[in-house]
Amino acid sequence: MPGLRGPRLPLVGILLALPFLPLLLLPAAPAPRRASYKPVIVVHGLFDSSYSFRHLLDYINETHPGTEVTVLDLFDGRESLRPLWEQVQGFREAVAPIMAKAPQGVHLICYSQGGLVCRALLSVMDEHNVDSFISLSSPQMGQYGDTDYLKWLFPTSMRSNLYRICYSPWGQEFSICNYWHDPHHDDLYLNASSFLALINGERDHPNATAWRKNFLRVGRMVLVGGPDDGVITPWQSSFFGFYDANETVLEMEEQLVYLRDSFGLKTLLARGAIVRCPMAGIAHTAWHSNHTLYETCIEPWLS
pLDDT per position as a tens digit, 147-206: 666 666 666 667 788 999 999 999 999 999 999 999 999 999 999 999 999 999 999 999
On whether residue 256 sits in a domain, the answer given is yes
CB atoms within 10 A of CB 288: 25
- Domains contained in the chain, number: 1
Cα–Cα dist 244/282, whole Å: 26
Active site (catalytic) residues:
112, 229, 284
On whether residue 278 sits in a domain, the answer given is yes
Mean pLDDT for 115-128 is 97
Residue type, 85: W
On whether residue 58 sits in a domain, the answer given is yes
On whether residue 190 sits in a domain, the answer given is no
CB within 8 Å of 194: residues ≥ 6 apart: 83, 85, 172, 178
Residue type, 229: D
On whether residue 294 sits in a domain, the answer given is yes
- Cα distances from 33 to residues 68, 69, 107, 186, in angstroms, run 17, 20, 22, 55
pLDDT for position 14: 47
pLDDT for position 110: 98
On whether residue 95 sits in a domain, the answer given is yes
Predicted model pTM: 0.86
Give residue-wise pLDDT tens across range 6-26: 445 455 544 455 555 554 455
On whether residue 138 sits in a domain, the answer given is yes
**For residue 27, pLDDT beyond 90:** no
> Which among 146, 148, 266, 298 has a CA at the least distance from the CA of 200?
266
On whether residue 244 sits in a domain, the answer given is yes
**CATH number of the CATH domain containing 126:** 3.40.50.1820
- Cα distances from 191 to residues 143, 151, 161, 172, 177, in angstroms, run 17, 25, 17, 12, 13
Which residues constitute the domain of residue 72?
A: 40-143+203-301
